[in-house]
């Protein structure tokens, strides 16, 4: 069996180190490229909802349904939207003026008695253009321990924004008896 010299042992360690650094560099590049493809979200004011919208609602199949969200897609905004989840929980209403779409979204989210208030966020393209809005319920912290019962993950797929509703596992586990 060949005995490793100090030189070859040091060379092996440096080679392994270089491979690890290269792998970390590639992973950071891939994750930053993926992050660049996610729409930007920011707090919004109702006065920003101008024009015509398609209202997409998800959830509210019962008064205990916590995974409810309303998306206002800006018509002519350059992006299509889709919601991943059960098709029977999604409704689409096109051609609504902004204030009417927002009012319907607020009414829709009132289906769950535990909603404390709602939060409006704008959904923006990588260039900063508003392509839509999200209205989500916020729950009293005393009910679930956190104000969000779910997360909405947005990703770009071509010229479309895909919304994925992800229930919070802690909330799901703590309310499984409801």
DSSP per-residue string spanning 137-168: EEE-HHHHSSS-SEEEEEEEETTEEEEEEEE-
**Residue 20, domain extent:** 1-36
Q: Are residues 55 and 141 in the same domain?
A: yes
Residues 91 and 148 in one domain: yes
Domain match, 55 and 136 both: yes
Helix (H, G, I), strand (E, B) or coil at 133: strand
pLDDT digits (tens, 9 = 90+) for 2-22: 555 555 555 554 454 444 444
pLDDT of residue 165: 84
For residue 120, pLDDT beyond 90? yes
Closest CA to 106 of 44, 46, 166, 39: 46
Token digits for 30? 């891939």
pLDDT band of 167, cuts 50, 70, 90? confident
- 49 and 16 housed in the same domain: no
* 98 and 22, same domain (yes or no): no
The count of structural domains within the chain is 2
pLDDT score, position 12? 55
What integer pLDDT is reported at residue 19 of this predicted model? Answer: 44
Mean per-residue pLDDT over the chain, rounded = 79
Are residue 138 and residue 106 in the same domain, yes or no? yes
Tell me: do 108 and 135 sit in the same domain.
yes
Q: Dihedral (C-alpha) 105, 106, 111, 112: value to the nearest 10 degrees?
A: 120
At 18 the pLDDT is 44
Residue 40 φ/ψ, nearest 5 degrees:
-85, 140
Task: Classify strands 52-58 and 69-74 as parallel, antiparallel or unpaired.
Answer: antiparallel
Supply 67's token pair. 């995974």
Examine the domain organization and report whether 30 and 52 are in the same domain: no
Q: Is the same domain home to 70 and 12?
A: no
- 54 and 15 co-located in one domain: no
Q: Which stretches does DSSP call E strand in 25-114?
A: 40-43, 52-58, 69-74, 80-84, 90-97
Among 150, 153, 163, 156, which Cα is nearest to 83's?
163
What are the tens digits of pLDDT across the range 65-104? Answer: 778 899 999 998 778 998 887 777 889 999 999 999 999 9
Q: pLDDT digit string (tens) for 122-157?
A: 999 888 899 999 999 988 777 777 777 788 899 998
Considering the domain architecture, whether residues 18 and 61 belong to the same structural domain is answered as no
Residues 25 and 48 in one domain: no
């Amino acid at each position: 069996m060949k005995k490793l010299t100090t030189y070859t042992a040091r060379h092996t360690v440096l080679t392994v180190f270089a491979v690890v650094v290269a792998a970390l560099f590639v992973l950071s590049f891939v994750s930053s490229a993926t992050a660049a493809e996610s729409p930007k979200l920011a707090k919004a004011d109702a006065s920003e909802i101008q024009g015509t919208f398609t209202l997409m609602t998800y959830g509210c199949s019962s008064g205990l349904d916590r995974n409810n969200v309303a998306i206002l897609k800006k018509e002519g905004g350059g992006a299509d939207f889709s919601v991943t989840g059960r098709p029977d929980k999604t409704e689409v209403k096109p051609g609504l003026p902004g204030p009417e779409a927002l009012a319907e979204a607020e009414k829709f989210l009132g289906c769950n008695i535990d909603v404390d208030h709602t939060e409006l966020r704008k959904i923006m393209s990588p260039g900063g253009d508003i392509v839509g809005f999200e209205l989500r319920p916020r729950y009293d912290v005393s009910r679930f321990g956190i104000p969000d019962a779910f997360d909405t993950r947005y990703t770009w797929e071509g010229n479309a924004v895909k919304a994925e509703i992800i229930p919070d596992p802690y909330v799901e586990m703590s309310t499984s008896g409801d």
